[in-house]
Amino acid sequence: MRKRFANRSGNNYKQIEVNEDFFKGTACYVDFDSSEEPVIVFNGKTNVCIKKENYERITLYPLDGTYSITIMYNEKKELIEWYFDVSSSVGFENGIPYQNDLYLDMVILPTKEFFILDEDELLAAYHNKEIDETLLKHAYKTLEFLKEKYVNNFSDLKSFTKHVYDIIKTGDTYGS
């Protein structure tokens, strides 16, 4: 497993608490400046740039959750994708959220298409005894939860995402 902290690089970092029916937890926002090297990844369908100058990212860490959601925007403020990291746990260290990443990921595109990524990494970690059978089963159970909650409630995900983005950009208190 990899311990991954909220990404604080970029021009601007904000961290707010979210307390809504659809999601409760912490949202971390960052926008990227000209010093950022472009990052291009395969999202399950095609190669896509997810990080470069003037791109924005919001990562959500749910309370008592075992996943994070990273929402990525291009320089035109258009949604690129939602990226879900399955983890064994989410926590805080020195006030900064982190997750213990279990390798398995899911991407949802703005078209509602979704893709499962890095299952080979999860299985390799299991076969190499980096994780046990309990964590392997947990990863798949979390993935099923993510499909049910976010893919099957896609319109709620879109509305919630827009709402979180608007709140972060205006600086209003969220969930009041």
Residue pLDDT, tens place only, 21-69: 889 999 999 988 777 788 899 898 899 999 888 899 999 999 988 999 9
| Token reading at 94 | 């020195």
How far apart CA 129 and CA 124 sit, in angstroms, is 8
Spell out the alpha helix ranges (H) of 19-153: 119-127, 133-146
Confidence band of 175 (pLDDT split at 50, 70, 90): very low
Task: State whether residue 48 is helix, strand or coil.
Answer: strand
Torsion region of 54: left, alpha or beta (phi above 0 gives left; psi -120 to 50 gives alpha): left
Mean pLDDT across the chain, nearest whole number?
91
Nearest to 20 by CA among 165, 155, 163: 163
CB 95 within 8 A of CB 107: no
pLDDT over 70 for what percent of the chain? 94
Element (H, E) at 156: helix 154-170
Confidence band of 9 (pLDDT split at 50, 70, 90): low
Cβ burial of 4 (10 Å; 0-12, 13-18, 19+) is: middle
Torsion region of 147: left, alpha or beta (phi above 0 gives left; psi -120 to 50 gives alpha): alpha
Torsion region of 137: left, alpha or beta (phi above 0 gives left; psi -120 to 50 gives alpha): alpha
